[in-house]
Amino acid sequence: MSDILCRTLPSEAIRWKLGVLSPIIIFTFFILIFYLYYYTKFKENLEITNFDEFQYFVNYTNSNGRYLDSANNNRIDSSPFQNCINLKSIVLPPNIFNIALSFLANTKISKILIPKSVGLCDVATFKNCVNLTSIVFEDGGDVPLYVGGDLWLENTQVTILVLPFKTYRIRGYWRRGSNLNTLYVKSTIPPILEHGWGDNPDTCDLYVPIGCKEVYASATNWGSFRTITEYDFDLNPNNVH
């Protein structure tokens, strides 16, 4: 009898421990999944150089689904890739909404395609991306686009920018510290243009759709551009996206 007890007690003890630990293990596992799903970020990762695979992270989000006109209130994390100083290439997921607030600040990217799903792309998004020369906004999409804001293009090499038809608001300080000197706007209705210190639109040329020059010239803050020229985005693409 004692032999049987000696043989069965350890296994019973193991089963008891597993019974106690299993819920803890399962709970820990789900907490880990929850964290990875909702809070994935790569901030200050010095190893990452190319992350084109990010386009497949379709479950990633930096938006809480509320306050769609406010980057601060909408964000989950303000700067997921900030200070990834060796990051040279990245492809964004096709359904991402919020890339505001230093999302790619201090990286070494040279170009970026902004998916049509993006609605918030303002405030230091590209700050100190010293190699950045090209920002292309994908046409289409059904959400208003907010761009600009403090330090948005500071210390980048972007000189020409094309904003899509869905652009709704350009926040103040949109040119502060940047090299931007040519702005194309595809919208036939002038977006709301805020003015902040360092914007100096009188040193920037503006191109607008055919038939829209007078509309822009008379809209608040738009009339102070150095020049306003009508541009046929269909017949004269000239590498304008």
We report the CATH number of the domain holding residue 156 as: 3.80.10
Count other C-beta atoms under 10 Å from residue 80's C-beta: 22
pLDDT digits (tens, 9 = 90+) for 190-231: 999 999 998 999 999 999 999 999 999 999 999 999 999 999
Q: Which residue, among 122, 119, 71, 66, has the nearest Cα to 96 in the 3D structure?
A: 119
Average pLDDT, consecutive stretches of 10 residues, N- to C-terminus, the chain (241 residues): 48 54 60 45 86 95 89 85 97 96 97 97 97 96 95 97 97 95 97 94 97 98 97 78 55
Q: Identify whether 109 is part of a domain.
A: yes
Residues 29 and 85 in one domain: no
Residues 6 and 124 in one domain: no
- Cα separation, 160 vs 54, in Å, equals 26
Number of domains in the chain: 2
Residues 61 and 32 in one domain: no
Model-wide pTM > 0.85: no
Q: Is 148 left (phi over 0), alpha (psi -120 to 50) or beta?
A: left
- pLDDT at residue 13, rounded to an integer: 55
Residues 29 and 126 in one domain: no
Residues 33 and 109 in one domain: no
Q: Which domain holds residue 23?
A: 1-39
Residues 1 and 116 in one domain: no
Residues 195 and 208 in one domain: yes
CA angle 171, 174, 241 (to 5 degrees): 100
